[in-house]
């Protein structure tokens, strides 16, 4: 590679920072230019090593991540470019590190806000060592057919439209990174295209200035004309005039310095770029444009006819036979990213998942369409939230209250029941919260807690089939099925369970209707005749009342049946009781109870002397 070239078709770079999108854009450019190797050799990410998956055309490739520049160089001794995406806080330091290596020759400083004194030192060292810096505060630039820096030149469509995948005859350089892409567009529309194009950045002291690149372009025989875009502020443009006078710049140069409006604006206005501020007459855009024109630069009257001047200059060179016809290369199709295709409405795909209860993709997460802040402001409560997430309904107040009532009532029934017991034993075995409560929860089922579902099922069956209470009891007996939700260890018809009373009274006071409760109580009249403790117990009460609640809310029998089948009713028991399990778990941990071992005297050892021998 000649000294005036920064890149060729084999140039490879390290990307400092986690800039996968920028890297992908580089690889897409590479593919479009039919480069054989991807231009990104690796990422430097001090937070960790590993790999990043990117596409090279249709093929997915993995690009290594290194934790230091030294490590990256060791693995890739041919790499001589670093695209530095580190923040303004560390950009100077990491650039300096790269300058100190043998290998890295060209560094692009993307960050805006690098202290001037640091950049001035970097610029000086780079110059002394024959290295090149582009930036800071730039998007970079590109050399068509060879190498593209980061996000420069925008989308692949733009690169195609402006033919940036193959070299033209024009060397372009601008101050502004944002405008560089516009510059490529203007040049491309009015000439045979860009040979090289960079933005040096809008700082007060960009590490390399317009003249540095113009002098490179001057030396390069492939570049036939130059186009530059300067800016108000600073005196860097005067170096161009000096170079022309000294015959160091001889190729046609079309140039415009922006900021001509500054003179009619009040003195202190600071434009978007740090360097764009005139401190003296000579810094003004008007003065610079006039001086450039006088030195022989082709300067338009305003930005409006910048494109015309470029075209005229190019056409003249062409007429003089100084520009060879370009044989347009074919370009491979660069696959579009799926996300982009979706954004443009070009593709669709069926989803594998569906959610109809909530959505976290918007600005604020919602429960069944109700934003969470609204849930809180409107006092939905736990009952209201379960209404949204389980029923997908905005429940009336009595339904929310009833759900909360049930949850409170079932929260804990002591340490002896199977779920709490298992939780305690697991906690004492040194296991964590999740394992402990899971071991309790797995015992919930037909025999423990599950009677809620069962009771709802049994009584609903009776009522739906129009069985008289006595007929229902007899039918169940005939089938040899215990009626779920009937019977209590202590409470009886004469000593009713206060918890059941509360729920029933609530239902009687607030539910619009409660036919299944009435039916179950009629059944209870039959069963308690046989034995006083065969009352509708807590599980049974919950089960039948939930059926009544659902009916009150407008559910049909068939829907209620489905809900019972999917364990809907047990869910209220599980959610309540889990609170109790957690309480037991924390209790055991606080008490630092040791491993539980069941005492021998509580186990009947009834082992035969010998096993039965099977012959």
Partner 1 sequence: MAQKGIREYDAKRMMAKALPKFSDGKIKFEASQVLIGAETDLVKLAAENPWLTTDKLVAKPDQLFGKRGLNNLLYVNKSWSEVQDWIKERMNKTVTIKQTTGETKGELNQFLVEKFIPHEEEYYIAITTSREYDTIHFSTKGGVNIEDVWDTVVTLDIPIMKEIEDMDVTSFLPDELGSRKEIVADFIMALYKMVVEYHFVYLELNPFTFVNGSPVALDAVAKIDDYASFQCAEYWGELKFPSPFGLEKTPEEEKVDELDERTGASLKLTILNPAGRIWNLVAGGGASVIYADTVVDLGYHEELANYGEYSGNPTRELTYAYTKTVLDLMTRKKDPQGRPKFLLIGGGIANFTDVAKTFTGIVQAITEYKDKLIETDVRIFVRRGGPNYVEGLNIMKNLGEKIGVPIEVYGPETHMTKIVSLALDKKVG
Q: Footprint of partner 1 on this chain (CB under 8 A)?
A: 21-22, 25, 88-89, 113-117, 120-121, 123-125, 139, 151-155, 158, 161, 174-182, 184-186, 202-205, 229, 231-232, 258-261, 264-277, 285, 301-304, 307, 343-344
What is the sign, positive or negative, of the torsion defined by CA atoms of 192, 38, 6, 199?
positive
Select 117 or 392, whichever has its Cβ closest to partner 1.
117
Structure tokens at 585: 């778990």
Q: Which DSSP symbol is given to 579?
A: H
> Cα separation of 284 and 264, whole Å?
11
Select 82 or 186, whichever has its Cβ closest to partner 1.
186
Structure tokens at 382: 């736990």
CB of 237 to partner 1, least distance (A): 14
Catalytic option among 213, 273, 458, 488 = 273
Backbone angles phi, psi at 190, to 5 degrees: -120, 0
Q: Which residues pair with 171 in a beta bridge?
A: 196, 226
CB 331 within 8 A of CB 32: yes
CB of 394 to partner 1, least distance (A): 29
Question: Under DSSP, is residue 82 helix (H, G, I), strand (E, B) or coil?
Answer: strand
CB of 572 to partner 1, least distance (A): 41
CB of 116 to partner 1, least distance (A): 5
Select 83 or 276, whichever has its Cβ closest to partner 1.
276
Q: How far apart are the first and last CA of the chain?
A: 89
CB atoms under 10 Å from CB of 244, counted, come to 17
Select 278 or 405, whichever has its Cβ closest to partner 1.
278
CB of 37 to partner 1, least distance (A): 24
CB 143 within 8 A of CB 17: no
CB of 202 to partner 1, least distance (A): 6
Select 44 or 186, whichever has its Cβ closest to partner 1.
186
> Cα separation of 501 and 511, whole Å?
15
Structure tokens at 34: 């039919």
> Cα separation of 29 and 491, whole Å?
80
Longest C-alpha distance within the chain, in Å?
Answer: 120
405: Cβ–Cβ under 8 A, 6 or more apart, which residues?
Answer: 502, 503, 506
CB of 100 to partner 1, least distance (A): 14
Position of tokens 């090149």?
132
Question: Under DSSP, is residue 62 helix (H, G, I), strand (E, B) or coil?
Answer: strand
Count of residues for the chain? 615
Select 147 or 572, whichever has its Cβ closest to partner 1.
147
Select 18 or 492, whichever has its Cβ closest to partner 1.
18
> Cα separation of 318 and 607, whole Å?
107
Select 343 or 357, whichever has its Cβ closest to partner 1.
343
Phi-psi region of 137 (alpha: psi -120 to 50; beta: other; left: phi over 0): left
Phi-psi region of 109 (alpha: psi -120 to 50; beta: other; left: phi over 0): beta
Backbone angles phi, psi at 312, to 5 degrees: -60, -45
Can the peptide bond before residue 418 be classed as cis, meaning omega within 30 degrees of 0?
Answer: no
CB of 227 to partner 1, least distance (A): 15
> Cα separation of 542 and 410, whole Å?
10
> Cα separation of 102 and 129, whole Å?
10
Question: Under DSSP, is residue 217 helix (H, G, I), strand (E, B) or coil?
Answer: helix
CB of 13 to partner 1, least distance (A): 17
Active site residue 273: yes
Select 165 or 546, whichever has its Cβ closest to partner 1.
165
CB 305 within 8 A of CB 311: no
Which residues are catalytically annotated?
Answer: 273
């Amino acid at each position: 590679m000649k000294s005036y070239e920064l890149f060729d078709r084999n140039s490879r770079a390290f990307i400092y920072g986690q800039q996968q999108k920028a890297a992908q854009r580089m690889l897409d450019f590479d593919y479009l230019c039919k480069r054989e190797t991807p231009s990104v050799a690796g990422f430097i990410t001090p937070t960790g090593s590993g790999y990043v998956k990117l596409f090279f055309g249709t093929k997915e490739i993995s690009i290594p991540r290194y934790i230091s520049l030294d490590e990256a160089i060791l693995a890739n001794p041919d790499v001589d470019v670093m695209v530095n995406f580190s923040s303004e806080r560390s950009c100077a330091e990491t650039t300096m590190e790269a300058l100190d290596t043998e290998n890295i020759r060209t560094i692009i400083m993307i960050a805006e806000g690098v202290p001037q004194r640091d950049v001035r030192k970097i610029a000086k060292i780079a110059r002394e060592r024959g290295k090149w810096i582009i930036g800071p505060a730039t998007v970079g630039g590109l050399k068509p057919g060879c190498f593209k820096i980061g996000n420069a030149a925008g989308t692949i469509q733009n690169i195609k439209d402006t033919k940036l995948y193959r070299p033209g005859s024009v060397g372009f350089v601008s101050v502004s990174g944002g405008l560089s892409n516009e510059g490529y567009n203007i040049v491309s529309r009015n000439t045979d295209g860009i040979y090289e194009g960079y933005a040096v950045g809008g700082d007060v002291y960009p590490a390399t200035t317009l003249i540095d690149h113009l002098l490179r372009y001057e030396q390069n025989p492939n570049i036939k004309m130059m186009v530059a875009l300067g800016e108000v502020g600073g005196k860097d443009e005067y170096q161009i005039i000096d170079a022309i006078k000294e015959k160091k710049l001889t190729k046609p140069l079309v140039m415009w310095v922006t900021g001509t409006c500054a003179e009619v604006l009040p003195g202190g206005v600071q434009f978007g770029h740090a360097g764009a501020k005139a401190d003296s007459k000579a810094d003004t855009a008007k003065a610079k444009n006039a001086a450039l024109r006088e030195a022989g630069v082709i300067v338009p009257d305003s930005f409006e006819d910048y494109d015309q001047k470029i075209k005229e200059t190019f056409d003249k060179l062409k007429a003089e036979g100084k520009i060879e016809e370009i044989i347009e290369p074919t370009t491979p199709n660069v696959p579009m990213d799926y996300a982009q295709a979706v954004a443009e409405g070009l593709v669709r795909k069926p989803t594998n998942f569906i959610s109809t209860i909530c959505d976290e993709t918007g600005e604020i997460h919602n429960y069944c369409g109700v934003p969470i802040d609204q849930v809180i402001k409107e006092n939905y409560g736990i009952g209201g939230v379960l209404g949204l997430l389980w029923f997908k309904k905005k429940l009336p107040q009595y339904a929310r209250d009833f759900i909360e009532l049930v949850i409170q009532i079932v929260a804990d029934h002591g340490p002896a029941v199977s779920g709490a017991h298992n939780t305690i034993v697991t906690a004492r075995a040194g296991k964590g919260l999740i394992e402990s409560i899971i071991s309790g929860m797995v015992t919930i089922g037909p025999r423990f807690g599950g009677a809620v579902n069962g009771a709802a099922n049994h009584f609903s069956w009776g009522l739906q089939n129009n069985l008289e209470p006595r007929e229902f009891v007899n039918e169940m007996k005939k089938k040899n099925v215990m009626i779920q939700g009937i019977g209590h260890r202590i409470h009886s018809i004469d000593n009713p369970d206060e918890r059941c009373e509360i729920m029933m009274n609530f239902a009687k006071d607030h539910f619009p209707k409660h036919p299944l409760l009435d039916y179950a109580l009629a059944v209870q009249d039959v069963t308690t005749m046989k034995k006083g403790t065969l009352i509708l117990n807590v599980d049974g009460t919950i089960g039948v009342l939930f059926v009544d609640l659902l009916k009150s809310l407008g559910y049909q029998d068939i829907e209620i049946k489905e809900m019972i089948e999917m364990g809907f009713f047990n869910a209220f028991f599980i959610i309540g009781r889990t609170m109790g399990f957690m309480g037991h778990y924390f209790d055991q941990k606080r008490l630092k109870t040791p491993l539980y071992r069941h005492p021998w005297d509580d186990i009947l050892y009834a082992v035969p002397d010998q096993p039965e021998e099977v012959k």
